[in-house]
Structure 1
Amino acid sequence: MSDARQENPNIDELLTISEIAQYLKVSERTIQRMIRSGEVPSAKVSGQWRFVRAIIDDWILSKMQSVQKSNLVDVIATETKIHSLIELVPKEHILMDMKAGPVEFILEQLVGVLTAAGTLPSAEPLFSTLRMREEMMSTAVGGGVALPHPRNPEAMGFLKNHVVLGICPKGTDFDSLDGEKTYVFGLLCARNTTAHLRLMAKLSYLFRTTGIVGAFRKATTAEEILEHIKNNHKTLSIEL
């Protein structure tokens, strides 16, 4: 680690053009074009373009409602091993009949799924980082869906990728972008930032499937949720 990074650990949140290109899986030329058009949030630091990773994540979330599905497929594309989303969402990671309430209460329920399943030894570190993330900007992307996630996946130390699905049939106020209630939560716990981005794109793709949110709300068992996911298996392979 360089002296600069030792003096300021938050510098890891700043990405260069090369790093943001790798993160978004596009060419540096594309990033340069996006900077010129003002499409991607960026700032000059000492004459060099830099990007704040947390802000980039927020930008991605805000784009998920309008981005074409073909572009989401491009985001997910990679050359590594393909996993089914079914493998990342075991029955034990599906919370049916979530109770409505404040943001903190919703997060407690989602994190509690991981501790109850023995996936997470302690709830506090993940809960704290999720709460801070929501204070920055809600992860409710509209359409009845929210995708809570840590700002810095690597800091959580997950050895595997995990997804928790929570269903709140009556809906709850999660400060959604569209001002509507949130019914379905997808908690992303990725082992690194690349997997994090692909999980975010994959879950967004899933939740934009016609009728899927309504189907999840009507489901009464975790098995029904898994069946709905299985029925969309052609679009739900993910490379991590």
Structure 2
Amino acid sequence: MPHRFFNFDEASGYLHIEKRDLETLVKRSEIPFTRQGDRILFQKRQLDGWASQRILGMSGKRLTDYHRTSSQKHHDLSPKHALIPELITIGRIAPAMHSRTKPSVLKDIVAIAEKTELLYDPTDLLAALREREEMYPTALDGGMALLHPRHHEAYMFMDSFLVLGKTTQPIPAGAPDGKPTDLFFLVCCQDDRTHLHTLARICAMAHGTAMLSDLRASTTAETMYEVLARAEEDVIRML
């Protein structure tokens, strides 16, 4: 229901933000909202886009706190239940992509996604990724990008999944630090909660473990998969 509207309490719970902090964001016009008379409402689709950008910009304690609250509410945190192995397989990891530009990365990583047989329309996904990157690049400091469409609709995918590609040479991708990117995650989720939690989980793995350097040192899809699994186990233990 992309056009659903939340009141303050509903938006606070959905975003894992204290109500007083949400009120501050509204006063500063730092979050999208609409007024209906004396009421302030938040459109779900706009919140999802805002939340994605917010998570991508988090680090340190803010990221840890968000990851902990979203995990506790929506996922089993026992060591036997991890999110990443449910979303990615060895066959969805490309350890040596020869893409030399961001447009070619998008095209090549969608081709990998198509092989999962979980993607309904590769052309639609590629167009959605291009639109997202034109609005706000998903490349982060540290050489990692979390590619994803602006909106997350169940009809795009048969199930939620991840793809990971490592380019043989880092390429300019719009990272805030101006440095090139070589690790590209493609995040394909059927619903917004899974999407936001997946972003938080991967960011926590990148900030809280040696995942990025270990992925760069890996030369096979098998070892890269092991790096992901180990990094997730580490962040789960820290929750």
What is the TM-score when the length of structure 2 is the normalising length?
0.81
CA deviation after TM superposition for structure 1 residue 122, in Å: 2.9
Once the two structures are superposed, the pairs formed by residues 1-240 of structure 1 within 5 Å of their partners are 12=3, 16-36=7-27, 38=28, 40-47=30-37, 48-50=40-42, 52-53=46-47, 54-64=49-59, 67-81=62-76, 82-154=81-153, 156-235=155-234
Shift in Å, 1:231: 2.3
TM-score (ref. length: structure 1): 0.81
Identical aligned residues as a percent? 23
Q: Which deviates the most, 101-110 or 185-194?
A: 101-110
Cα separation, partners in 2 of 1:65 and 1:123, compared to 1, 3 Å: farther
Question: Alpha carbons of 1:66 and 1:187: their partners in 2 closer, same or farther (altered >3 Å)?
Answer: farther
Change beyond 3 A, Cα 1:178–1:66: farther
CA distance in 1, matches of 2:63, 2:154: 31
Q: Secondary structure at 2:140's aligned position in 1?
A: strand
The answer to whether the 8 Å contact 2:145/2:181 transfers is yes
Mapped to 1, the partners of 2:143 and 2:206 lie a distance apart of: 9
Q: Distance between the aligned counterparts of 1:65 and 1:108, measured in 2? A: 33
Q: Report if the CA contact (8 A) 2:148-2:188 is conserved.
A: yes
- Cα-Cα RMSD: 2.7
SS at match of 2:178: coil
SS at match of 1:12: coil
Instruction: Point out where structure 2 has 5 or more consecutive residues left out of the alignment.
Output: none
Deviation of 1:105 after TM superposition, in Å, equals: 1.1
Asked whether the equivalents of residues 65 and 142 of structure 1 are also in contact (C-alpha less than 8 Å), the reply is no
- Structure 1 range deviating more: 130-139 or 211-220: 211-220
How far apart in 2 are the matches of 1:50 and 1:227?
Answer: 40
In structure 2, give the amino acid aligned to 1:136. M
Report deviation, 1:175: 0.8
Distance in 1, Cα, partners of 2:169 & 2:61: 26
Shift of the alpha carbon at 1:236? 5.5
State how far apart, in whole Å, the 2-side matches of 1:65 and 1:98 are: 30
Whole-angstrom distance in 1 between the partners of 2:60 and 2:174: 16
2:3 alignment partner, SS class: helix
Alpha-carbon distance, 1:216 to partner: 0.9
Amino acid in structure 1 at the alignment position of 2:113: L
